[in-house]
Structure 1
């Protein structure tokens, strides 16, 4: 029987904050080689081990502020905007002030600590304070009470069970990234000059826009509401698109992000192209995925810049040979079907992991004999 003990986070590791070098001094960032992580970096990060963020800082930038160098296997935990992003440092790195990271003691397994913080996310978040947005202070983080196996062997067994599931999820993502690269390579070979021409996307297809937020009376179900173009914001029992569908985020930090869904979605404020509009969704997905920056740059408005379907429709393309488009669709459809299969498997694996997490972290499932 695995023995458990109650302790504070400060008993199992050193809680470390971060800081931001002045952005007015270019020398703090230009040609920097010290990985520097912000919560935004984790907003689109779906793995466990992170190497670097969007920007590095220089030695001068590091010395100019109070950020600290975290050793490999430190566990990053975002402490504001939002609270609860978790990742493990794959190498030495530092963070901005939006983290209360934990450097595990020698008798604490870092992967177990990762899952421990994920399990306690809601508890930690509930202890945040602040009016504009909630934040966890260093002192609060240190005094969070948790229960852990007394023996590191028990920690490692729990981490291994959960880690094996995440290993498979991450392997499927890696496979899917490779498969998408194949579809892009085929696209580049068949349509090398497609962005050059006097025609526009709107001459061939008219992207639509979601009808805004759902009614307050909508019933929750299993259809994702895609507002940001990334992960679904919630689920309802209605849809305004037919799978497959590509959704293009309309505003915010991820504006212009192009995502592909193999299930019906409610596109909310996003622009979209779905299979009710064309049999060649995969063709349009790859074309627009390659032009995300161009879409982002087409935003209009001052208070809240926005992307509308007409911006996408106005993008230039060459005169299309529709036999080539149909041929491309026939070639890549099996590839995208494999991608969809892997996504479905990952959804099932994630459900299994999330079901096991509280049972393992509470000791309800004993791992001593595994």
Structure 2
């Protein structure tokens, strides 16, 4: 530990505060340089995927603020403490201070993990002013405790190994979910299910549909907020709205609470956000985290619970993720601007082709393994995060000494 030094963030590299090009000048925006904002950054991910990109013209406007790969970005206004790393030349908005790490003296990934441990400190600094903000000067003067470069690389290698596994599992989850969505579209939108060549298409009130299928309302095909009882006084899993991830079936960070007000559900149910902007942002979860088929959980009052009646649970979830279904629900919203909610009655006039039971059974047997694998990978990620988060403060503080460990740091664990 005698070789560790007290430094400031200024000592780690060059600090760059981002800037937003005028949004009215559309020529500044294109598809070349990722434009990072706090909304793009996830609390628990090194990687950032941006909604917007700058054009070459936008780059010229912001060229003094261009960030090279392996720059560490930290939100210092609003969502203070969110941290990510660039993988390609990028630009951020003004809410983010970034450190272009001096790689002759410091490891960028060590700096990333170091700043992950400073979230509470940054929050405390920001809470002392009227508008929560950590300005560039204050940020740069923040004190940090840093080991020699070889030890930095070893610490980064240990922690990166966990994040690499998490990122690989996350990519697998995305692939599995895309596969399920593709199968749904093939079978029930394009009607290319197994054996479709031998099935005659017949007229219906909507379109040509396979013979033996019928057109019914969504409210006939599924239960909308089915009556489900749950004891009030015992602790049960509770799902707040934030636990339904955007554009994924995963339900994360489940809490434990007493009470029974709000949505009540069981394994196989779909949780459909009813309020703006959660619905528009794609918050729809599939319940499969409960340990047994009889357990009941509850959650936010802003969920609509969808439960299969004539379909199957997997069909219901995949239907709820389709653009047409969501747009129909969004058009039914009423209420004050910013707090609009879906009307349950909207499912009475959304119609769909209800397949015959044989096709539904085949579909369930085809996709059930995809859904289970998604849950398995999600549980592995939960365990990996817990272990990494236990190690993180102990490695960064030097409580766990890795300086003498034989850790292979020639193989870069940081490439993505």
TM-score (norm 1): 0.85
1:259 aligned to 2:285? Answer: yes
Tell me how far 1:157 sits from its aligned partner: 0.8
Preserved contact between residue 226 and residue 232 of structure 1 (Cα < 8 Å): no
Name which of 385, 406, 410 aligns with 1:350: 385
Tell me how far 1:229 sits from its aligned partner: 2.9
Q: Distance in 1 between matches of 2:235 and 2:13?
A: 40
CA shift in 2, pair 1:232/1:333, >3 Å: closer
Tell me how far 1:3 sits from its aligned partner: 2.8
Tell me how far 1:341 sits from its aligned partner: 1.2
Tell me how far 1:219 sits from its aligned partner: 9.2
Question: For 1:210-359, what aligned pairs fall within 5 Å after superposition?
Answer: 223-227=238-242, 229-230=244-245, 235-238=255-258, 240-256=264-280, 257=282, 258-264=284-290, 266-273=298-305, 280-291=312-323, 294=327, 297-298=330-331, 299-308=333-342, 310=344, 313-314=347-348, 316-323=350-357, 324-359=359-394
Q: Distance in 1 between matches of 2:62 and 2:95?
A: 14
SS at match of 1:22: coil
SS at match of 2:177: helix
Residue 174 of structure 1 corresponds to which residue in structure 2? 171
Greater shift, 300-309 or 140-149, is seen at: 300-309
Residues 282-323 of structure 1, C-alpha deviations (whole Å, 9 max, x = no match): 211112223276267434334224332527625634230241
Name which of 159, 163, 187 aligns with 2:156: 159
CA shift in 2, pair 1:70/1:320, >3 Å: same
Residues 195-216 of structure 1, C-alpha deviations (whole Å, 9 max, x = no match): 95664312211333999xxxxx
Tell me how far 1:222 sits from its aligned partner: 5.8
Residue 117 of structure 2 corresponds to which residue in structure 1? 119
- Number of aligned residues: 361
Preserved contact between residue 67 and residue 94 of structure 1 (Cα < 8 Å): no
Greater shift, 9-18 or 231-240, is seen at: 231-240
SS at match of 1:127: helix
1:16 aligned to 2:13? Answer: no
Preserved contact between residue 271 and residue 309 of structure 1 (Cα < 8 Å): no
CA shift in 2, pair 1:311/1:111, >3 Å: farther
Preserved contact between residue 76 and residue 97 of structure 2 (Cα < 8 Å): yes
1:94 aligned to 2:91? Answer: yes
Q: Distance in 2 between matches of 1:19 and 1:209?
A: 49
Preserved contact between residue 207 and residue 309 of structure 1 (Cα < 8 Å): no
1:41 aligned to 2:40? Answer: yes
Consecutive unaligned residues of structure 1, counting only runs of 5 or more, are 212-216
Residue 217 of structure 2 corresponds to which residue in structure 1? 200
CA RMSD of aligned residues (A): 3.2
CA shift in 2, pair 1:274/1:204, >3 Å: closer
Residue 76 of structure 1 corresponds to which residue in structure 2? 73
Q: Which has the larger radius of gyration?
A: 2
Preserved contact between residue 238 and residue 299 of structure 2 (Cα < 8 Å): no
Q: Distance in 2 between matches of 1:199 and 1:307?
A: 24
Consecutive unaligned residues of structure 2, counting only runs of 5 or more, are 192-204, 208-214, 246-250, 291-296, 406-416
Tell me how far 1:115 sits from its aligned partner: 0.7
TM-score (norm 2): 0.77
